[in-house]
């Protein structure tokens, strides 16, 4: 199977994660013109599962290094399978809330609030479990990112003052999503042998097997979570399965593409965790907030009616994010 052999390659993988995790929501924005996010989400989850399955039978099955996917799955312990599966359930609950926050508050707001909170708490949780990397630089980077998040919140408050309607519910939902999102990664990481992907301890899984079980947890939990959300949506009237099957093939493909994009980022992030450590790998991946903010500000024009004073706040936010991410990269040297 494919294994990352050096720290620079691990950082490159995390950059791919950052781009993917920060860009997948564009597919939701595109679909939202004619498609409720509850319906979009079924296709998104299918895309994540397809990505995990393809990775397991390609990168996770070819080559001389490590255990091949089927052999690894056969020897995995029940405890580790359950751990990765629970990670999928937690992620799905968080991501449904996050998708709802995007629909209500926009990418430029939902990403910094939800993913920013998830970054701060997630780094703490993962570093306490596996203390890999220079703690001083890791937490200094997290502090800079936290300040960037606060600046984004101030910019949003200024922008919202020019609008007739402000969705405070969107911010609350984003905070709940971030709180849950900070814990899912630890359950996947706990199911793997982060010190040796080539010859993992008996019962532990490779990243490819862990991601496959994780994706299975997402699919299974979605049958419950998204069905409830369709009946009791955060916004708008209820939707039905009949509405889903009325969707055009092209509309379904947009959702699947979104899941594939997120899944690629997730796969590369966990592959990188062996060399970078889960705290650094997770933190760099969650730099997706920066990418999403760029999309939201420059492509979707979510701050186009905001006062000029928000421009300086947004510029400072971007600079602090970049500085924080640079410290996180240096922490793993």
What confidence score (pLDDT) does residue 53 get?
98
Q: What are the residue boundaries of the structural domains of the chain, listed by start?
A: 7-331
- Does this model's pTM top 0.85? My answer is yes
Question: C-alpha angle with apex 325: 317 to 89, nearest 5 degrees?
Answer: 95
- What burial class does residue 30 get, using C-beta atoms within 10 Å of its C-beta: 0-12 exposed, 13-18 middle, 19+ buried? middle
Q: Which of 154, 114, 150 is nearest to 289 (CA)?
A: 114
What confidence score (pLDDT) does residue 220 get?
98
Distance CA 132, CA 279 (A): 7
The residue behind tokens 């949506």 is 233
Distance CA 296, CA 47 (A): 23
Of the ranges 173-182, 240-249, 282-291, 318-327, which one carries the lowest mean pLDDT score? 282-291
Length of the chain: 333
Q: Tell me the pLDDT tens digit for each residue of 266-293.
A: 999 999 999 999 999 999 998 887 888 7
Phi, psi of 232 (to 5 degrees): -130, 70
Q: Tell me the pLDDT tens digit for each residue of 58-104.
A: 999 998 888 999 999 999 999 999 999 999 999 999 999 988 887 78
Q: Which of 151, 149, 154, 125 is nearest to 138 (CA)?
A: 125
Q: Is the pLDDT of residue 36 over 70?
A: yes
Q: Tell me the pLDDT tens digit for each residue of 250-263.
A: 999 999 999 999 99
Confidence of residue 166 (pLDDT cuts 50, 70, 90): very low
Q: Name the β-bridge partners of 192.
A: 205
Q: Is the pLDDT of residue 43 over 90?
A: yes
Q: Which of 102, 124, 147 is nearest to 283 (CA)?
A: 124
Contact between residue 119 and residue 142 where contact means Cβ atoms under 8 Å apart = yes
Distance CA 219, CA 42 (A): 9
Per cent of the chain over pLDDT 90 is: 67
Distance CA 99, CA 28 (A): 8
What confidence score (pLDDT) does residue 107 get?
67
Residues in CB range of 315: below 8 A, 6 or more apart: none
Mean of the per-residue pLDDT values of the chain: 91
Find how far residue 332's CA is from the centre of its chain: 21
Q: Tell me the pLDDT tens digit for each residue of 122-159.
A: 999 999 998 989 999 999 999 998 898 788 778 877 77
């Amino acid at each position: 199977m494919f294994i990352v052999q050096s720290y620079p390659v691990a950082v490159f993988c995390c950059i791919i994660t950052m781009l993917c995790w920060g860009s997948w929501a564009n597919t939701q924005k595109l679909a939202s013109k004619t498609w409720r996010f509850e319906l979009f989400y079924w296709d998104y989850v299918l895309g994540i599962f397809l990505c995990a399955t393809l990775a397991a039978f390609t990168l996770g099955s070819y080559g001389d290094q490590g255990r091949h996917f089927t052999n690894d799955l056969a020897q995995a312990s029940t405890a580790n399978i359950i751990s990765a599966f629970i990670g999928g359930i937690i992620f799905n609950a968080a991501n449904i809330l996050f998708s709802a926050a995007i629909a209500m508050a926009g990418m430029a707001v939902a990403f910094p609030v939800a993913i920013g909170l998830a970054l701060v708490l997630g780094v703490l949780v993962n570093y306490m479990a596996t203390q890999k990397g220079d703690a001083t630089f890791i937490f200094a980077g997290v502090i800079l990112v936290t300040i960037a998040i606060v600046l984004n919140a101030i910019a949003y408050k200024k922008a919202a003052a020019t609008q007739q309607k402000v969705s405070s519910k969107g911010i609350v939902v984003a905070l709940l999503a971030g709180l849950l999102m900070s814990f899912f990664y630890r359950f996947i990481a706990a199911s793997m042998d982060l010190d040796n992907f080539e010859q993992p301890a008996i019962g532990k899984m490779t990243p490819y097997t862990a991601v496959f079980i994780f994706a299975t947890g997402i699919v299974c939990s979605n049958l419950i979570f998204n069905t409830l959300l369709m009946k009791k949506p955060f916004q708008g009237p209820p939707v039905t399965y009949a509405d889903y099957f009325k969707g055009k093939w092209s509309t379904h493909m947009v959702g699947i593409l979104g899941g594939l994009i997120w899944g690629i980022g997730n796969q590369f992030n966990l592959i990188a965790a062996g060399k970078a450590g889960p705290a650094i790998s997770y933190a760099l991946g969650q730099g997706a907030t920066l990418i999403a903010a760029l999309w939201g500000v420059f492509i979707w024009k979510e701050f186009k009616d905001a006062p000029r004073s928000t421009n300086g706040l947004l510029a400072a936010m971007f600079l602090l994010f970049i500085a924080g991410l640079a410290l996180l990269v240096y922490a793993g040297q």
